[in-house]
Homo-oligomer: A and B are copies of this chain.
């Protein structure tokens, strides 16, 4: 089957980056099917993402990595080269609410999310049947309020065992410990049920209801140690009126959460999201 290499680069901006990279690729006959570039004028940083047909290149990905190391050194690049033939491994975490999990599993089944899902971890049993119906192992790791450390050690072991590239908090209602956030920095994706930075923390729809806002929202972001403060990948909103109760906001918000998390995760899986300080460049 046809597959592609994805070259992701960020580095200080200067003359000649594109020329150097594209000439290297063209020199080997590489066919670029998608190219995105961004020069951040405020910080002088350059970002690029190339998608290259693997069969157009006479090189193995390892040979290409060796070659590219020299170019990367020359331009002080942060870079990675991924192969679409090797999809990411994504561990999903959830609590009791099923909407995001149902949505992600449907999209995965429909081929919208190019990844492997080695397992789902939850602090409740509620979603076991759903997960197992999709043929995915389900791990129940209850979180004892008096000994969270034990639970998160178990979570970490499961994530490691699953050789996960990415962890998705699909309405997992627990706060991850700092060491886990650090270890998987830039690889843990959360969906927060408000338009951040409004209504961080608990019960955002009830906060929104109390404030009388006319739009509610959801935010997909990378998890950092500071709660609900990591780099934002995607946001969206839904109009509400005085007719809507707080429960209506919860219901209507579910659709926004599902859509925003799915878009954010899809872009992450396709290496379209580049972290830039506490912000993101999204080549959507």
Contacts and interface: CB of A to CB of B under 8 A. Distances in A.
Contacts of A282: 214, 241-242
A212 B281 CA distance: 9
A42 interface: yes
| Shortest 3 CB-CB contacts between residues of A and residues of B | A212-B279, A19-B26, A19-B22
Given A215-B237, A259-B255, A41 B280 contact: no
Interface residues of A, number: 67
Contact of A18 (B22, B215, B280): B22
**Interface-centre pick from A15, A236, A282 (highest chain B CB count, 10 A):** A15
A177 interface: no
A interface, over-half SS: mixed
Contacts of A234: 214
A236 B215 contact: yes
A235 interface: yes
B33 A35 contact: no
A179 interface: no
B211 A197 contact: yes
Interface in A18-37: 18-20, 22-23, 25-27, 29-37
A278 interface: yes
Contacts of A69: none
